Amino acid sequence: KMAGSSAPWIGSAYLFLQSTCKTIVLPSLYESSQKKPSVFKALKLALADSTGSVNGVDMLKVHCSHPHLIVQLKFCKQENCRRFLQSYREGALQESLQNHLQLSLAMTTVPLEMELKAGNEHLDNMLKDEDRCLECIYREKPDRLRDEEITELEECLKSLIVHQSINNNTAIKGCASLNSPSLPCPSQGISLSPQVTFIFQGQQFANRTLTPDDHQKFAKLVSKKWKQVGRSLQKNCRALRDPVIDNLALEYDREGLYEQAYQLLLRFIQSEGKKATIARLIAALEENGLISLAEELLGLHSNEDCS
């Protein structure tokens, strides 16, 4: 339980993970329904090692952004965050995760590179100043609740540990039995779909990958707010970090707002592939008050309403 203060210490950070071995691609392993439970288990155990407690740090979501696996972390106690930072700085977290991945995936070795960020701050550049790192993490409040998929994987992991059968075949059975569209059976031959449906304005819509028509409508109608939408999308899209957005503004300044917005979404689509979905774009539009444009993309406006 949290300390009984009126305002608990809560902060958030992103851990970027990349394998330095060309044959091991972490996002691909995580997208595989067979390997996902094993990768999750390794992450969970390494994070528990880093704080000395299973509940020391919470995983809110795991993003696949090739070649990186990006883990969104939430800390509920300053001392847990401090322990995590010490473990990260000393290389203990890296070593622990490499070992757990090696065991979980039955591989000889899984060499890793790590990067830690809070907002726009690269914490790797200031690790010696622990208080400043803590301040940056505290400033970044989590922007989401824990992803449903993480909850399912946690349950799956618990049941695996109870049955003491931690091999991949059991992992698949354990997780596929969870009646969930976000954990497809291997036989379906599809990688993880972000979400099948989403809610907008109280209505349910099918999620889908962005189309050329969406792309053009967005570029035509978003106007000056394209940068703000880009910053909302950048939370889960490494290809849209601030320098990229600023560079697009300069590079396409002469061509005007349409081209700037078009190029922004192009970067998003190219980097995210099938995960560049309408749900993610609608969420970014909603966040910036662009409800009319969101309705336009979802076909809620009749033709007469279009200007």
Query: Which span out of 32-36, 43-47, 159-163 was modeled with the highest average pLDDT?
Result: 43-47
Confidence of residue 85 (pLDDT cuts 50, 70, 90): very high
Quick: pLDDT tens for 36-59: 999 999 999 999 999 988 888 999
The amino acid at residue 235 is K
Angle, helix 92-105 to helix 78-89, in steps of 10 degrees: 80
Quick: pLDDT tens for 249-259: 999 999 999 99
Q: What is the pLDDT of residue 179?
A: 36
User: What region does 193 belong to: left with phi over 0, alpha with psi -120 to 50, or beta?
Assistant: beta
pLDDT above 80: residue 195: no
| R_g of the chain, CA atoms, integer Å | 21
Instruction: Give dist(CA 224, CA 230) in Å, integer.
Output: 11
- Is the pTM higher than 0.95? no
Among 110, 100, 89, which residue's Cα sits nearest to residue 44? 100
Three-point CA angle 137, 142, 147, nearest 5°: 135
Would you state the structure tokens that stand for residue 127, as one six-digit string?
């690790």
Would you state the structure tokens that stand for residue 268, as one six-digit string?
């998003």
Quick: pLDDT tens for 290-307: 999 999 999 886 544 444
Confidence of residue 161 (pLDDT cuts 50, 70, 90): low
Three-point CA angle 227, 232, 238, nearest 5°: 95
What is the widest separation between alpha-carbon atoms in the chain?
63
Dihedral over Cα of 74, 185, 193, 208: its sign: negative
What domains are defined for the chain? 11-152 (3.30.70.680), 197-298 (1.10.533.10)
Pairing verdict, β 197-200 and 121-122:
unpaired
